[in-house]
């Protein structure tokens, strides 16, 4: 089975150097889950997608560029415009309520802290796994028909290693952050909250994952790792920060 997998990988990816051989041996991409789900084939199919219609690729580009470092101030501004969440005591009972102020510095500060924490843990994980990016492994000739109009923009200002995906981790962090407010904003309108959550977790987050693989910045395993890392941070570390800031 191992020989079959190695042969398939060598047929799919044209090596630039021994980096391709080393990539096949990286356990993240040769794990039982990756092989059972044939993720190497799915990676290849997405990487090999020919040019998309301009309007469609522009939408994919927006997802892929959404968490480039130069865009982060936009998301901080979004957090700045959210209503404040405060603990209110009435008759000896503590309740969490929304304070509908136009601008709320604590929201922006809390989100910015989650961005920094996510970045730190992502870079630590990248340095630990030291996995190769697709562009280090895959080569395409100019006649292959694989065109990425916004490739240089999407791949700008990225780190050296691939696993886990920092952009996907930041996208998941934003989803969790917004979910915190949607729970309160739509407390009496569960249907609206469900639609918003469906958009965040069913369109926005998958869109970022697809775009990062489409532009050959990452493998599917990197995206899964980014989601898992953000989930762990929001389970154990970020709640402590939220209690101190909000």
Say if residue 196's pLDDT is above 70. yes
pLDDT at 149: 81
pLDDT tens digits along 86-115: 555 555 544 544 444 434 567 888 999 999
Q: Is residue 139 predicted with pLDDT exceeding 90? A: no
Answer whether residue 60 shows pLDDT above 60: yes
Q: How far apart are CA 166 and CA 122, in angstroms?
A: 6
- Which of 215, 210, 213, 228 shows the shortest CA–CA distance to 121? 228
- Averaged over 191-219, what is the pLDDT? 92
Q: What angle do CA 218, 195, 183 make, to 5 degrees?
A: 95
Mean per-residue pLDDT for 27-35? Answer: 86
Residue 136 confidence (pLDDT) above 80: no
124 burial type by CB count under 10 A (0-12 exposed, 13-18 middle, 19+ buried) = exposed
Q: Is 183 exposed, middle or buried (0-12, 13-18, 19+ CB in 10 A)?
A: middle
4-8, 108-112, 136-140 — most confident range: 108-112
Q: How is residue 163 annotated by DSSP?
A: S
In angstroms, what CA-CA distances link 67 with 74, 196, 205, 209? 10, 20, 11, 11
Residue 81 confidence class, pLDDT cut points 50, 70, 90: confident
Q: Identify which of 10, 3, 15, 5 has the alpha carbon closest to the alpha carbon of residue 37.
A: 5
Query: How confident is the prediction for the chain on average, in pLDDT?
Result: 80
Given a cut of 80, whether residue 224 has pLDDT beyond it is: yes
For 16-28, the pLDDT digits (tens) are 445 555 666 788 8
Q: Where are the beta strands (DSSP E) in 91-146?
A: 93-99
Statement: residue 84 has pLDDT above 80: no
Which position has the token pair 């060598």? 10
Highest mean pLDDT among 52-56, 93-97, 161-165, 204-208: 204-208
Checking if the pLDDT of 48 tops 60, the result is: yes
Contact 196, 20 (CB under 8 A): no
Most confident segment among 127-131, 180-184, 210-214? 210-214
Give the three-class secondary structure for 95: strand
Contacts of 121 (CB under 8 A, 6+ apart): 229, 233
């Amino acid at each position: 089975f191992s020989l079959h997998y190695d042969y398939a990988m060598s047929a799919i990816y044209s090596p630039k150097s021994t980096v391709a051989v080393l990539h096949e041996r990286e356990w993240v991409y040769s794990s039982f889950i990756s092989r059972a789900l044939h993720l190497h084939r799915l990676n290849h199919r997405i990487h090999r997608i020919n040019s998309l219609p301009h309007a469609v690729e522009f939408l994919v580009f927006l997802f892929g560029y959404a968490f480039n470092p130069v865009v982060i101030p936009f998301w901080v501004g979004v957090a700045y415009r959210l209503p404040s969440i405060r603990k209110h005591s009435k008759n000896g009972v503590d309740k969490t309520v929304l304070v509908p102020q136009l601008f709320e510095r604590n929201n922006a500060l809390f989100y910015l802290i989650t961005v920094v924490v996510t970045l730190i843990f992502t870079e630590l994980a990248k340095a630990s796994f030291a996995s190769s990016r697709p562009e280090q492994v895959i080569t395409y000739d100019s006649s292959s028909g694989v065109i990425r109009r916004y490739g240089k923009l999407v791949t700008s200002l990225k780190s050296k290693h691939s696993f886990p995906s920092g952009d996907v981790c930041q996208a998941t962090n934003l989803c969790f952050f917004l979910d915190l407010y949607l729970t309160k904003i739509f407390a009496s309108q569960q249907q609206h909250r469900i639609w918003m959550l469906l958009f965040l977790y069913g369109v926005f987050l998958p869109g970022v994952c697809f775009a990062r693989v489409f532009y050959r910045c990452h493998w599917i395993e990197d995206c899964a790792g980014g989601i898992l890392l953000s989930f762990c941070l929001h389970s154990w570390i970020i709640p402590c920060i939220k209690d101190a800031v909000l």
